[in-house]
């Protein structure tokens, strides 16, 4: 769902307000949450952090309906969007679990074209192993170039 204030961004945060004694739910984006007087999670001051804490406490994930209390109680997340909504909380948790680490490793392939390139890279790598074993160094050099070209092609299709 798109943000119900600006309509330009994904409305990841469910925000409940009491208007004339009635609960009204909005799905709003991070930017609009900031403009509505909430601090962004990037704020670093002590006050900012308290505000951020408050946003996290009040926030409800628009996709699965979970609150931070659900996450804490179950030790799990309700959906992938929770990782956006509760990002600062998660950063903290991950720092405790894994240290200040970022993901290193596989990046998913999102289309068939890339899949084909990755397959081709694997085949050429196998040919390269054989060439090295047989001490065919000229062929090996050629195969290395080929892998490089394929890797570049892979990166190009990222854009």
* x-or-dash string of contact with other proteins, 64-93, rule CB under 8 A: xxx-------xxxxxxx--x------x--x
C-alpha–C-alpha distance, residues 99 and 8, integer Å: 35
Residue span binding other proteins (CB under 8 A) among the ranges 10-18, 25-33, 41-49, 96-104? 96-104
Asked whether the beta carbons of 42 and 18 are under 8 A apart, the reply is no
Binding flag, residue 13, Zn ion (CB under 5 A): no
C-alpha–C-alpha distance, residues 27 and 64, integer Å: 13
For Zn ion, the closer of residues 26 and 53 by Cβ is 26
Asked whether the beta carbons of 12 and 29 are under 8 A apart, the reply is yes
Binding flag, residue 33, Zn ion (CB under 5 A): no
Buried-exposed string 117-135: b where 16+ CB fall within 10 A, e elsewhere: beeebeebeebbeebeeee
Among 6, 94, 116, 130, binds Zn ion (CB under 5 A): 6
For Zn ion, the closer of residues 55 and 61 by Cβ is 61
Q: How far is the CB of 117 from other proteins (least distance, A)?
A: 11
C-alpha–C-alpha distance, residues 14 and 152, integer Å: 41
Binding site for other proteins (CB under 8 A): 63-66, 74-80, 83, 90, 93-94, 97-99, 101-112, 114-115, 118-119, 122
């Amino acid at each position: 769902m798109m943000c119900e204030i600006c309509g330009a961004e994904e409305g990841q945060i469910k925000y409940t307000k009491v208007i004339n004694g009635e609960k009204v739910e909005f799905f709003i984006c991070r930017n609009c949450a900031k403009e509505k007087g909430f601090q962004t999670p990037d704020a670093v001051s002590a006050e900012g952090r308290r505000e951020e804490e408050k946003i996290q406490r009040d926030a409800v994930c628009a996709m699965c309906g979970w609150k931070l209390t659900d996450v804490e109680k179950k030790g799990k997340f309700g959906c992938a969007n929770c990782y956006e909504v509760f990002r600062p909380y998660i950063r903290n948790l991950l720092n405790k679990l894994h240290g200040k680490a970022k993901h290193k490793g596989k990046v998913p392939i999102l289309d068939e074209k890339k899949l084909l390139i990755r397959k081709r890279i694997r085949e050429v790598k196998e040919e390269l192993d054989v060439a090295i074993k047989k001490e065919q160094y000229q062929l090996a050099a050629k195969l290395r170039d080929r892998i490089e070209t394929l890797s570049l092609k892979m990166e190009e299709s990222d854009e």
